[in-house]
Structure 1
């Protein structure tokens, strides 16, 4: 079992840091924490109602974070921030979590829609890098799922759980779980209230565990060497291994073997309405940097895995999904390819960037793909540009010049 403990939520002007553990039987105590001085929602402080949802993007660069209007490309904010930073969806389609030195800091993109029965009201406000920081020594994966967002601290094995809907109101109530051994991990809370987390230590990772809210172990496997990343095919979760994947359906864990002895799938792209998960696929265990030319398609219904050959390599920031669930892969030849996941084949492609080569250092900029609704956004660091692709007819509809060289890219539909 896991030991649950209270970690006070830090508020105010705090430090920022950028991207665990085995499940054993022991006593568990569950606690939560909340602050009494929550800030008022920005929905009531200077917000403007607009005619419809207005998507916004955030891009990191060496020295800060840009916030852009996704349609016009206008820079709405330029927040200075030192060090390497990462961007992750917070789960409320308004905030992102910025992983930097010291923890996970909430970035309010200042665009959101409030549902009212059969319609919604859309609002915008000034984007803000807030003072709300969840402390972490080595902030890693952030996973929003089924109304709860889990933040994983790789250095301590601490998993912080919160309701992302509370972010707009100020300080959310948090619950923390500390794994027995720290590792580069990932976790989420499922629709049954169970905690799902990777298992490992600083030297190796080998599986996942499913635990009740009280910490009682319901399922576990150590048959997933190098476990990394997660994605959802509908309600089933997929975790990558160095020899295939794990498919989790409730408490049932199924291992799907790769066709090669070493067939690493470490990055995945899921879809809420599709049973298929798109993954990368690498076969050289000794490579300093492998540039793969195949992707994997996992069918979570029958736990099967198929490979798709591509005419160009790609990077871990190249995978995405179309609105109807097909796969997207941004190749080093500059073409964005549509993968028919049902047939495991390339269906179509469009030229977006010039040819590029993946850098040796994973933190260095490279073309990055983000999908929001029926639009794909692709950065091109070599030209300091952002390209806009209409996925309905697979055409490049706009290109925006950027004031800085982009690195990470994320955003919200508003």
Structure 2
């Protein structure tokens, strides 16, 4: 769908949330870089877009808080279409949920945030966004660096130190500890009825079978460099595989066939993201380049110099991919970079100052009057 410009058009409407790595600040920009909102938040934020395109979650690890940002797109249902009314963005809610919230997992109907400080998980019902921001807290057995995922009506919780995955009901009752070890567990993604977690010695697949769960391990490909593992994972329902980082490259994980396939890139990927349709996979690598991959052919079809190369220890550049457009954060230059995905070219560089690192999109489809 074409991006809508001006008024009276039907199309996709986009705004960008940008968080600073060093200051407790989140900005909201329009797609041409104009600042629409500037919010002081509890501490520097990681950002996650929420389903529906109207809200973005801010996770404030230092402050033990979460914030829900409303991007300003008000939707009115008109049967065959939705009217979009553009309003001023605002912070809809700020909650202190627990110590060191870090990883969040966004499902279709629920949101889970793991607190590294005490091992609790905050569960939110996304169907009540805007009406009720009260979470249910699930206790999982103590502090750890956790990863969470939803597999149907089951909450899966993995810990880096514990090196195992447990299953909980959405009411918070533990029902299973999977027998497979997953040392140094990090990163998760779900594809259909399979969840995948990255381990130091391979990947752990957790499959929903009937009323039960089945775990199995896939070792990394033979000849993989020592110490290389996947810890950032993503998937798209248009494809039968999941994708993870793997040293200076990408790992394609085929759960049905039970095999892993590595693809080399010029530098380690910092972010991996499919476009909403699943037609292309984008990788932002540590050398500052954005690569476009054909997921079916599993090859790079374009590369773009996008942001300043990343140095270990510095704030990481950010990437958010939407319909027809991507936005990147360049903390070294204090810029937000807009990329036109149709022509695969830089369409704008917007100076915002500071060290912008996390970006997330508010994006809705409809008709503006």
TM interval, shorter chain, is: 0.7 to 0.9
1:394 maps to: 344
CA distance in 2, matches of 1:253, 1:391: 38
CA distance in 2, matches of 1:342, 1:137: 41
1:61-80 residue pairs with structure 2 within 5 A? 61=20, 62-63=22-23, 64-69=25-30, 71-80=31-40
CA distance in 2, matches of 1:117, 1:305: 45
1:219 deviates by: 5.7
Note the aligned Cα RMSD (angstroms).
2.6
- Normalising by structure 2, report the TM-score: 0.84
1:235 deviates by: 4.4
Q: For residues 19-57 of structure 1, what are the alpha-carbon distances to aligned partners after superposition, in whole Å with 9 as ceiling and x for unaligned?
A: xxxxxxxxxxxxxxxxxxxxxxxxxxxxx9986542111
CA contact (8 A) 1:231 1:237 kept: yes
1:116 deviates by: 4.8
Q: For residues 278-314 of structure 1, what are the alpha-carbon distances to aligned partners after superposition, in whole Å with 9 as ceiling and x for unaligned?
A: 21113xxxxxxxxxx2221112332321111112334
**Partner SS for 1:383:** coil
**From 59, 67, 71, the counterpart of 1:99:** 59
Count how many residue pairs are aligned between Structure 1 and Structure 2.
Answer: 345
Q: Is residue 269 of structure 1 aligned with residue 243 of structure 2?
A: no
Q: Which moved more, 1:158-167 or 1:214-223?
A: 214-223
Q: Which moved more, 1:302-311 or 1:226-235?
A: 226-235
Q: Is residue 321 of structure 1 aligned with residue 274 of structure 2?
A: yes
CA contact (8 A) 1:384 1:406 kept: yes
Identify unmatched segments of 5+ residues in structure 1: 1-47, 283-292
CA distance in 1, matches of 2:9, 2:94: 26
Q: For residues 150-204 of structure 1, what are the alpha-carbon distances to aligned partners after superposition, in whole Å with 9 as ceiling and x for unaligned?
A: 12111111112121232212x335322101222111223332x22211146xxx1
**Partner SS for 1:104:** strand
Q: Is residue 86 of structure 1 aligned with residue 41 of structure 2?
A: no
1:118-157 residue pairs with structure 2 within 5 A? 118-157=80-119
Q: For residues 81-129 of structure 1, what are the alpha-carbon distances to aligned partners after superposition, in whole Å with 9 as ceiling and x for unaligned?
A: 4643222234442222222203212222222545554322223322112
Q: Is residue 160 of structure 1 aligned with residue 112 of structure 2?
A: no
CA distance in 1, matches of 2:329, 2:206: 33
1:105-120 residue pairs with structure 2 within 5 A? 105-120=67-82
**Partner SS for 2:189:** strand
1:311-390 residue pairs with structure 2 within 5 A? 311-315=266-270, 318-322=271-275, 323-353=277-307, 356=309, 358-361=310-313, 364-390=314-340
**From 207, 210, 235, the counterpart of 2:167:** 210
1:270-309 residue pairs with structure 2 within 5 A? 270-282=235-247, 293-309=248-264
CA distance in 2, matches of 1:166, 1:337: 37
Q: For residues 346-393 of structure 1, what are the alpha-carbon distances to aligned partners after superposition, in whole Å with 9 as ceiling and x for unaligned?
A: 232233235x1x3332xx333322101221112223332222222223
Identify unmatched segments of 5+ residues in structure 2: 1-6, 365-369
CA contact (8 A) 1:234 1:274 kept: no
1:180 maps to: 141
2:3 maps to: none
1:158–1:309: structure 2 CA closer, same or farther, 3 Å change rule? Answer: same
1:372–1:280: structure 2 CA closer, same or farther, 3 Å change rule? Answer: same
Higher strand proportion (structure 1 or 2): 2
CA distance in 2, matches of 1:375, 1:368: 14
CA contact (8 A) 1:114 1:121 kept: yes
